[in-house]
């Protein structure tokens, strides 16, 4: 029987005692490897991550599983030859799923972290698909320059709302703008009018209410139906 891993979090790297105890009881071991995290998140072993442990663990933990992206594109898109705009692209989970789905002729990724941008370029240049990395804050991009966009996907940073909150070195919760960046996404989608837009974040009623208020259809999505990981997320769609 295949193991269904617990949600991949940065703490997989150095789990605190309470997590280690729980995993020992549930999975018979206290730690998981980076290869297991790649597998649980459905990334190929060949995907290139930075060598620094803490960085690679953070990036894989916050990534969107490409197998789930591929599944959602197949569910919502009947056409091919599309152009994708991947906002908050990170290490490229949504975009890799788009490539696997064979529905896109061009992928445009927006990410503000320079180092992530260079890893996006390295990984996507090996796939042989037309792509562009816009290394900018999503709020500063000239979207008209990008031409017609068919599909928008967005996974804004979730740290403000995560259960394992992102604390700075003084133990103070950092604010990375989950709600303002969600509102920005909603407004951008209203301007660009793509055929389909997909939004993902940690499951919080507050976020769900905001998106549904603007006509998005939301669900509490259990990713373990597609990937070997207990990962429950909010997925919203606007058609
Ligand atoms: C939850 S992660 C998204 C992960 C991504 N979907 C993946 O598969 O790796 C959020 C990403 O948004 C980026 N980000 C945060 N604020 C941003 C902004 N204002 N503009 C562009 N990117 C931003 C972060 O650097 C991070 O990579």
82 Cβ contact partners less than 8 Å away, ≥ 6 residues apart:
103, 104, 105, 150, 151, 195
Nearest CA to ligand 1 atom 18: 137
Residue 96 in tokens:
């890799």
Which atom in ligand 1 lies closest to the alpha carbon of residue 116? 27
Q: How far is the CA of 2 from the centre of ligand 1 (A)?
A: 31
Assess whether the C-beta atom of 154 lies below 6 angstroms from ligand 1. no
**pLDDT score recorded for residue 167:** 47
Residue 214 in tokens:
């603007």
Which tens digit of pLDDT belongs to each residue from 84-114? 999 999 999 999 999 999 999 999 999 999 9
Question: Phi and psi for 234 in degrees, rounded to 5?
Answer: -90, 125
Alpha-carbon span 228 to 177, nearest angstrom: 30
236 Cβ contact partners less than 8 Å away, ≥ 6 residues apart:
198, 199, 200, 208, 211, 212, 216, 217, 218, 219
Which tens digit of pLDDT belongs to each residue from 46-92? 999 999 999 999 999 999 999 999 999 999 999 999 999 999 999 99
Helix (H) or strand (E) holding 197: strand 196-202
Read off the pLDDT of each residue in 130-134 and give the average, rounded to a whole number: 98
The SS3 call for residue 230 is: coil
| More confident position, 174 or 97 | 97
Residue 191 in tokens:
């301007």
**pLDDT score recorded for residue 163:** 43
Q: How far is the CA of 154 from the centre of ligand 1 (A)?
A: 9
Domain boundaries, the chain: 10-61, 65-238
**pLDDT score recorded for residue 160:** 56
Assess whether the C-beta atom of 130 lies below 6 angstroms from ligand 1. no
**pLDDT score recorded for residue 133:** 98
> Could you tell me the CA-to-CA distances from 198 to 144, 178, 238 in Å, in that order?
20, 16, 7
Alpha-carbon span 199 to 97, nearest angstrom: 15
| More confident position, 14 or 153 | 153
Which atom in ligand 1 lies closest to the alpha carbon of residue 93? 8
Answer whether residue 174 shows pLDDT above 80: no
Alpha-carbon span 207 to 233, nearest angstrom: 11
**pLDDT score recorded for residue 65:** 98
**pLDDT score recorded for residue 159:** 62
Of 38, 90, 114, 203, best ligand 1 pocket probe by most atoms within 8 Å of the beta carbon: 90
Given a contact cutoff of 8 angstroms between Cβ atoms, the answer to whether 57 and 81 are in contact is no
Which atom in ligand 1 lies closest to the alpha carbon of residue 88? 12
CATH architecture of 65-238: 3-Layer(aba) Sandwich (3.40)
pLDDT band for 1, please (50, 70, 90 cuts). low
**pLDDT score recorded for residue 3:** 86
Judge residue 237's burial from the number of C-beta atoms within 10 Å of its C-beta, 0-12 exposed, 13-18 middle, 19 or more buried.
middle
Is the overall model pTM greater than 0.85, yes or no? yes
99-103, 104-108, 160-164, 209-213: least confident range? 160-164
Number of CB atoms found within 10 A of residue 214's CB: 15
Helix (H) or strand (E) holding 41: none
Nearest CA to ligand 1 atom 20: 137
């Amino acid at each position: 029987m295949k193991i269904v891993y617990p949600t991949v979090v940065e703490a997989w790297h150095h789990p605190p005692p309470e997590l280690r105890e729980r995993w020992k009881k549930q999975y018979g071991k206290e730690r998981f490897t980076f290869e297991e995290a790649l597998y649980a998140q459905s990334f190929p072993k060949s995907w290139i991550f930075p060598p620094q442990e803490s960085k690679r663990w953070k990036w894989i933990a916050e990534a969107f599983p490409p197998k789930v992206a591929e599944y959602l594109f197949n569910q919502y898109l009947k056409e091919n030859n599309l152009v994708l705009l991947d906002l908050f692209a990170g290490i490229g989970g949504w975009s890799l799923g788009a490539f696997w789905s064979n529905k896109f002729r061009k992928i445009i990724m927006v990410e503000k972290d320079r180092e992530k941008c260079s890893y996006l370029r390295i990984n996507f240049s090996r796939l042989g698909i037309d792509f562009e990395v816009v290394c900018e804050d999503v709020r500063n991009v000239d979207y008209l320059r990008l031409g017609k966009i068919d599909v928008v996907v967005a996974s804004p940073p979730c740290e403000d709302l995560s259960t394992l909150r992102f604390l700075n070195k003084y133990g103070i919760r950092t604010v990375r703008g989950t709600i303002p960046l969600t509102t920005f996404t909603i407004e951008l989608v209203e301007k660009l009018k793509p055929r389909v837009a997909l939004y993902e974040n940690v499951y919080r009623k507050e976020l769900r209410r905001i998106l549904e208020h603007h006509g998005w259809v939301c669900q509490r999505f259990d990713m373990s139906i597609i990937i070997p990981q207990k990962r429950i997320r909010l997925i919203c769609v606007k058609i």
